[in-house]
Structure 1
Amino acid sequence: MTVVWCNGSLRDPDEPMISVLDHGLTVGDGVFETCGVLDGQAFALTRHLDRLARSAAGLGVDLPADAEIRRGVAEVLAALPAEEPGQATRLRITVTAGPGPLGSARTPGSTPTLVVAAASGPASVDARVVRVPWVRNERSAVAGLKTTSYAENVVALAYAKERGADEALLANTVGELCEGTAANVFVERDGEVLTPPLSSGCLGGITRDLVLLWGQEAGLAVREASAGELRYEDVLADVEARRASLAISGSVRGPVPVVALDGTATVPGALLAELCALYAARVNDDLDP
């Protein structure tokens, strides 16, 4: 079941509710956040709304008031049915620039479109990843912003799915490991866990931040890599040789171990497993950390 709230009220998901001239539809001019749902609440909602504001500022899109977004979230969560075992609920907040012309220019003073929606699907317990022949542009105008212009991710994920995987691993233009289509990456090698730096062009994931924070608080060897420290092909060669292991993370799946690379089984690392277990335990301590 999908629950949808649009511009002030709950709506039937099949009901027309957004203009065909909305700039989010015509040119992908919008930003969004996806939250996991725990015990009927959007996990880490304040962190997600802070990042939504950063993305909106970077794109130049006006946001509705924080209270209005939170009202939409609360009404959607209240309308959701109880989650079934083995399911995970995804809550998405989308804000577009609103109606505009059939081109890249915006209509001055246009009212933003706000949509909050939620639905459940199978929970992820691990991940299978593949290399892809495309890269992230770490110098893009929207690098590090969570925008609705997701065509590159759609193509890369379809490539992965066609090869029996559920996520793609992307390098950036200078050959550094960057991220997945909807996930951050963690690498365990030489007794520590590293994640690509934001300078690589990756999104600053909420789960990524919490894994770093909670792992360091627990005294585990986990840190953000320095620029150039995680070379894409070097990391994947180490994984294939079983000198390294991978995990990916996202707001709905949390951190999960990678169990296959390009169709070949990989061995999850002990330190990554400890970080995944730590995260699973800590999320129940505070739903808005």
Structure 2
Amino acid sequence: MIWSDGHLLKPEEPALSAVDHGITVGDGVFETCAVYGGQAFALSRHLRRLARSAAGIGLVAPEEQLVRDAVAQVLAAAPDSGRLRITVTGGPAPLGSMRGDGPLSLLVAAGPASPSSVSRAVRLPWVRNERSAVAGLKTTSYAENVVGYAYASERGGDEGLMANTVGALCEGTASNVFVEIGGELLTPHLDTGCLAGITRELMLEWAREEGLPAREARVDELPFGILDEVTLAAGGTIGGVSGERGVSLALAGSIRNVAPVVSLDGQDVAPGPLVLAAQGLFGRRLAEQVDP
């Protein structure tokens, strides 16, 4: 079910102009929320981030109440949905990078979701540019994420993990990363170029409230090579050296929530106790409040 310009549409019905800047050059921002019982989870936080992303690329987000009304209409028409997406684009514009002077486009769509309780990750050969003009923003310019996901999928994964340009662990194509190491659960610093994920944000807040040792890592604390230690901890070897430290991973995102990584580059790996505790904590807390 799709909302566009005040109307509810089916997927086969037209919703945007062929010269919409979101189509021609990917000029737009978006948010994805999980839907539970016909309600969008953490909608207020997602709308705040939508406004930050829009400002980051020079757009003005639509009035919040307009978006909330559109969300309500879509979910009333499709209450069994599992996923909600809100998209704002630059609207109709010339065929080039220059924006037009007309109104922005707003789309709200809802559909099914089939989240898994575990994740299978693959390391990607490409990097995230932490100095990009859109670093840390949730934009519709998503081609590199699509390519990365396809690479991971072809190798049996459901997510691809990236370093940044200086070799720090950054993020997945559609998720944040948590690393269990040394009795703590660490997630890469935002200065690595990763997205400030809503699930990441909530996980850190709830962990702090409940005494789970989780924190944002220092910017240079988690090199991409830390992933070698995940496979070493599972009994693999690198250069004839076997692993002894218990290092494991979880991925965090709006649909997967907090999901332990059980395979890395095709090798089975075991989630650690903090990863499992984080998954349980997040599942319990999200059931308590729909808009934390």
TM-score, normalized by length of structure 2?
0.94
Q: For the Cα contact (< 8 Å) 1:187–1:195, is it kept in 2?
A: yes
CA distance in 2 between counterparts of 1:101 and 1:211 reads 42
Structure 2 distance, partners of 1:151, 1:113, is: 20
Aligned partners of 2:187 and 2:232: how far apart in 1?
20
SS at match of 1:241: helix
1:171 partnered with 2:174:
no
Is the 2:20–2:89 Cα contact (8 Å) retained in structure 1?
A: yes
- The size of the alignment, in residue pairs, is 280
Gaps of 5+ in 2: 234-244
Partner of 2:229: 238
Give the 3-state SS of the residue equivalent to 1:255 in structure 2. Answer: strand
Match of 2:28 in 1: 30
Residue of 28, 38, 41 corresponding to 1:40: 38
Contact map agreement 1:62 1:97 (CA 8 A) in 2: no
**1:93 and 2:86 equivalent?**
yes
- Structure 1 residue aligned with 2:285, among 260, 263, 282? 282
Deviation at 1:9, TM superposition (A): 1.5
- Supply the AA of the counterpart residue of 1:101: P
Deviations 1:25-50 (A, max 9, x none): 00000000000011211000000000
Give aligned-pair identity as a percent. 59
Question: What CA distance in whole angstroms lies between the structure 2 residues aligned with 1:261 and 1:90?
Answer: 26
Give, in angstroms, the shift of residue 241 of structure 1: 1.1
State whether residues 32 and 147 of structure 1, in contact with CA within 8 Å, keep that contact through their aligned partners in structure 2: yes
Match of 1:54, SS state, is helix
Equivalent position of 1:249 in the other structure: 252
Match of 1:49 among 41, 44, 47: 47
- Alignment partners' CA distance in 2, 1:66 and 1:230: 37
1:102 alignment counterpart: 95
Secondary structure of the residue that 2:148 maps to in structure 1?
A: helix
CA-atom RMSD in angstroms: 0.9
Question: 1:267-278 counterparts in 2 under 5 A?
Answer: 267-278=270-281
The 2-side partners of 1:32 and 1:268 are apart by 31
Partner of 1:159: 151
> Could you say what secondary structure the match of 2:220 adopts?
coil
Question: How far apart in 2 are the matches of 1:82 and 1:90?
Answer: 9
Residue 196 of structure 2 corresponds to 204
Q: For the residues of structure 1 that align with 2:138 and 2:114, how far apart are their CA atoms? A: 23
Q: Secondary structure at the match of 1:214?
A: helix
Shift of residue 81, structure 1, vs aligned partner? 4.5
Choose from 126, 139, 142 the match for 1:147: 139
In structure 1, what is the Cα distance between the partners aligned to 2:207 and 2:14?
Answer: 45
Write the distance in 2 (CA, Å) between the matches of 1:251 and 1:16: 27
Provide the rounded CA distance (Å) in 1 between the counterparts of 2:52 and 2:118: 30
- Any idea what the Cα deviations from partners look like across 1:125-166, whole Å, max 9, x if unmatched? 100001111000000000000000000000000000000100
Q: Secondary structure of 1:121's partner?
A: coil
Given that 2:37 and 2:79 are in contact with CA atoms closer than 8 Å, whether structure 1 keeps it comes out as no
Q: 1:214: which partner in 2?
A: 206
Could you tell me which amino acid in structure 2 is paired with residue 30 of structure 1? G
Q: CA deviation at 1:273?
A: 0.3
TM-score, L = length of structure 1: 0.95
Aligned 8 A contact 2:262 2:269 in 1: yes
In the alignment, the residues of structure 1 paired with residue 278 and residue 115 of structure 2 have an alpha-carbon distance, to the nearest angstrom, of 18
